[in-house]
Structure 1
Amino acid sequence: MIFANAMGCDHKRYQKMCLKVQDGVITQITDELAQMSDVEAHQIIDVDSKLLMPSFIDCNVYPKGRTLSRKTLTSLSQKALRGGYGTLLLLPDTTPVIDSEAIVELIKSVDKDLEVHILPCIKPIFSNEGKPKLTDVSKLYTNGARGIYFQSDIEGNLILRIAQYAKMLKTPLICFAQDSSLAQGVINEGALAAKLGLPTISHKSQSIEVAKICEMLLAQEVEVLFSAIGLPRCIEIIQSYKNQGLRAHTEVSLHHLILSEQVCDDYNTAGKLNPPLPSQSARQGLLEALGNGAIDVLTSLQCADFNSQKDQVFELASFGIDSIAYGFALAYDRLFKPHNLSLSLLSKLCSHNPAQILGLDSGALEVGKKADFMVVDLAGRTPITDSFSPYCGAELESKVVMMYRDSQLYEID
């Protein structure tokens, strides 16, 4: 199959391109169709100058209600396809928890029938008679799970033992840094929280844990992705340890770069996220970090819940957002275009870097790479009608119209 007359874009380039795919692999890239070999033997898809870009990879995803089932994974896959995502890393603190070979096998069996590839991440700790114990991480890894996810406020000795597994298996650590004792509230601490009279999540709840994990992992020869960083101070700490040799990556959600805590005014639960949405000044600091190259990965922070769990008073409503179905359009319309950031940077943060971290043979438009890409009409529109979304009523510029992965072409209405 040949995709002709495209505007190809990845982390290195943005140019007119024709791309040949055979057996799910990119085999030739040329500037013009006339330069392509063996054209008559292939079906030709005229992309008509639309954007052709590697599919997004999201390293921070949960199924609806954090419940693992064929139904929730199928729904997640269908939404992700529409948003331009080809691969999802499923975080493991779900029901049931991803801490056994049986659960990894369950996800793999469902994944075979899905449009989008769902990778299970490893939960390395389980409770045995009330005491934390390590799972057999190597067996889960051998069975197809990738990455080891942990929350930072566990026993330090366990963190170091988990890091030894990560080093041995050459798989990344995924760390959600938060001191739970300082995160008992529901909203960012500050003037808005005081106005609404809501209990707060301390700024220190993330920054002190980031500093602790950085210090613990320095010189451990492991790779760590800091999941869902919400404050500029945390990025500063990570950068300082990167300069000392720590192999760390900073992940930030699209929403923390686009929205501020003001979305939560009038007790709007659509903006209730964890980590909480930042103040306007902190959001500006995150945007500066993005422009300075201090952010490595972007996430949709997909964690949908049933409407009944969002339609409650603010303190009782669930954390989370259902946004993966419009991921590309949101990033393009609300972040990259208004701030004059390049599409190549978008591809780097949402495709290339996540692929490198997870060890995937995708994320770039290169001969020999897995053919896993989307076609986007930048003149199209993506409406958002979900009343529980902070973007409800928006009509985002751009629309994903095709996805190609595993030798299958999906046309999106």
Structure 2
Amino acid sequence: MVLIKNAKLATLEIKDILIENGKIESIANSINATKNLRVIDAKNSFLLPGLVDLNVRLANSVLNRNSLKKLTKTALNGGVTTSLIMPDFTPRLNNSTLLDHFKIKAQKEEADLHVAASLYNENDKLNNIATLLDNGASAIWTTSSCSANILKRGFQYARMKQVPIFCQCYDENLDDNGVMNESELSFKLGLSGISKVSENSEVAKIAELSLINNTKVIFQSLSTKRSIDIISDMKKRNKNIFSELSIHHLCKTENACNCFNTYAKVLPPLRDEGERVAMIDELICGNVDILTSMHSPKSVSYKDVAFENAEFGIGSIEEYLSLCYTHLVKSEIIDMSRLMELCSLNPACIIGQDNIGKIEVGYCADMVLFDEKIPKTIKDKTSLYNGDTLYGEVKKVFKDGKIV
């Protein structure tokens, strides 16, 4: 048994927390320590539910033991105890044998690693979704621009199996090999742009499909206010759709791409300052349901090339909690309780993990001890946040009540 004393909860209350058999046994103003207890003094640091990140990719999109181990280590450093891995990696999870291979490897890690099933295979044919879901895949993942018939069948499977669909909304046919936000800056740099309508139009299409099929849909990594407005309007008729934002689209703008900085090349692209501010307003108004790290790390060899040829994606999960705290809580945009809804409770509920995401009696003791007072300046040329000062450090992570 573990007793955590003087812990500051997201509500700012100072409490003692007793953990027994991997669950939260008691929360009180004061709990007396006995001989058989391991006592940890939180010293008024935050004790938060472990973050649940629903938009994570493996390093260089390759599945092996090393990539899972690296993901686990960086995720725990960022306060993330549960991750949903997107399936667009190599080898593709096209059958139950490969899925079993993933599960065996994932079970050896100290964090919970879930995986979504890709709706289609590398030949753009429908995967055996029913088999993959029956064998442990947690959700369906797709891009909005795949075959309309495959999309339709994917929604039917989601309704039949009662699982969510995660959809990346982007119509690449509207853009000619776009690599950054379509704007004056992209014109100045001589780079092909990615238009906002290439996202907005696909969001509208998927929203209509979700309404017809009454399925749970998560719109991944939105980057425009118009997309959120479309979803908010559709929520009046379908409560089962959710807006997801990455922390990067609330922190950074297209200006990070200046000087051809490939570590700012992400998909969807970082937008202009007006869009960033509008997205924050949507967050404040309660029109955003989930935040993610959009973790998709790429090796230097994939980034240290011409901007047009560089891969999309950045590693970011290791600073996830500090990024969220610095840019959203410390800056007084939202409070810590709301942040935990966005990063822990809501995503946990979406994937059916009803025993995590809260610090409450009876819940699993997946928790993070976070000292928000510690500053850290990022000194990493491969980081989007190189030179930025972030606040907060993950001091300890508890998984099922054990320190990992």
TM range (shorter): over 0.9
2:135 is the counterpart of 1:133: no
Query: In structure 1, what is the Cα distance between the partners aligned to 2:182 and 2:388?
Result: 28
Say if 2:155 and 2:209, in contact at 8 Å, map to a contact too.
no
Find 2:80's aligned residue among 53, 73, 85: 85
* Deviation of 1:246 (Å): 4.3
Deviation beyond 3 Å, 4+ runs, structure 1: 38-41
Alignment-derived partner of residue 286 in structure 2: 293
Alignment-derived partner of residue 323 in structure 1: 316
Query: In structure 2, what is the Cα distance between the partners aligned to 1:375 and 1:77?
Result: 17
Query: In structure 1, what is the Cα distance between the partners aligned to 2:363 and 2:134?
Result: 23
Find 2:21's aligned residue among 17, 20, 23: 23
The alignment covers a number of residue pairs equal to 401
Query: In structure 2, what is the Cα distance between the partners aligned to 1:216 and 1:341?
Result: 32
2:384 is the counterpart of 1:390: yes
Alignment-derived partner of residue 239 in structure 1: 232
Say if 1:329 and 1:382, in contact at 8 Å, map to a contact too.
no
Say if 1:174 and 1:224, in contact at 8 Å, map to a contact too.
yes
Query: In structure 2, what is the Cα distance between the partners aligned to 1:356 and 1:39?
Result: 35
* Deviation of 1:341 (Å): 1.6
Paired residue secondary structure (2:403):
strand
Query: In structure 2, what is the Cα distance between the partners aligned to 1:89 and 1:245?
Result: 24
Paired residue secondary structure (2:348):
helix
Say if 1:86 and 1:372, in contact at 8 Å, map to a contact too.
yes
Bigger mean CA deviation after superposition, 239-248 or 321-330:
239-248
Paired residue secondary structure (2:118):
coil
* Deviation of 1:109 (Å): 1.4
* Deviation of 1:21 (Å): 1.4
Say if 1:5 and 1:33, in contact at 8 Å, map to a contact too.
no
Say if 1:214 and 1:246, in contact at 8 Å, map to a contact too.
no
* Deviation of 1:271 (Å): 0.9
2:4 is the counterpart of 1:6: no
Bigger mean CA deviation after superposition, 232-241 or 212-221:
212-221
Paired residue secondary structure (1:386):
coil
Say if 1:251 and 1:296, in contact at 8 Å, map to a contact too.
yes
Give the structure-2-normalised TM-score. 0.96
Find 1:171's aligned residue among 160, 163, 181: 163
Query: In structure 1, what is the Cα distance between the partners aligned to 2:200 and 2:166?
Result: 16
Give the structure-1-normalised TM-score. 0.94
Residues 194-233 of structure 1 mapped to structure 2, 5 A cutoff: 194-233=187-226
Alignment-derived partner of residue 192 in structure 1: 185
Paired residue type of 1:95: T
* Deviation of 1:170 (Å): 1.6
Alignment-derived partner of residue 181 in structure 1: 173
Please provide the CA RMSD for this pair. Answer: 1.5
Paired residue secondary structure (1:362):
coil
* Deviation of 1:340 (Å): 3.7
Residues 374-413 of structure 1 mapped to structure 2, 5 A cutoff: 374-410=368-404
Query: In structure 2, what is the Cα distance between the partners aligned to 1:120 and 1:340?
Result: 32
Query: In structure 2, what is the Cα distance between the partners aligned to 1:348 and 1:246?
Result: 17
* 1:327-382 deviation per Cα after TM superposition (whole angstroms, max 9, x unaligned): 11111112321144200111000000000101112001111111111000111233
2:11 is the counterpart of 1:51: no
Say if 1:153 and 1:177, in contact at 8 Å, map to a contact too.
yes
Bigger mean CA deviation after superposition, 109-118 or 71-80:
109-118
Paired residue type of 2:9: G
Paired residue type of 1:152: S
Query: In structure 1, what is the Cα distance between the partners aligned to 2:156 and 2:362?
Result: 32
Query: In structure 1, what is the Cα distance between the partners aligned to 2:160 and 2:29?
Result: 43
Alignment-derived partner of residue 355 in structure 1: 348
* Deviation of 1:40 (Å): 4.1
* 1:160-215 deviation per Cα after TM superposition (whole angstroms, max 9, x unaligned): 21112112222111010111212421010111011111111111110000000111
* Deviation of 1:383 (Å): 3.8
Say if 1:98 and 1:120, in contact at 8 Å, map to a contact too.
no
Say if 1:19 and 1:28, in contact at 8 Å, map to a contact too.
yes
Say if 1:4 and 1:19, in contact at 8 Å, map to a contact too.
yes
Paired residue secondary structure (1:133):
coil
* Deviation of 1:249 (Å): 0.5
* 1:302-321 deviation per Cα after TM superposition (whole angstroms, max 9, x unaligned): 00111111111111111111
| Unaligned ranges ≥5, structure 2 | none
Query: In structure 2, what is the Cα distance between the partners aligned to 1:102 and 1:293?
Result: 41
Say if 1:254 and 1:331, in contact at 8 Å, map to a contact too.
yes
Alignment-derived partner of residue 42 in structure 1: 37
* Deviation of 1:78 (Å): 0.4
2:104 is the counterpart of 1:109: yes
Paired residue type of 2:268: P
Paired residue type of 2:78: G
| Unaligned ranges ≥5, structure 1 | none
Query: In structure 1, what is the Cα distance between the partners aligned to 2:339 and 2:50?
Result: 11
Bigger mean CA deviation after superposition, 81-90 or 116-125:
116-125
Paired residue secondary structure (2:48):
strand
Bigger mean CA deviation after superposition, 350-359 or 372-381:
372-381
Alignment-derived partner of residue 33 in structure 1: 31
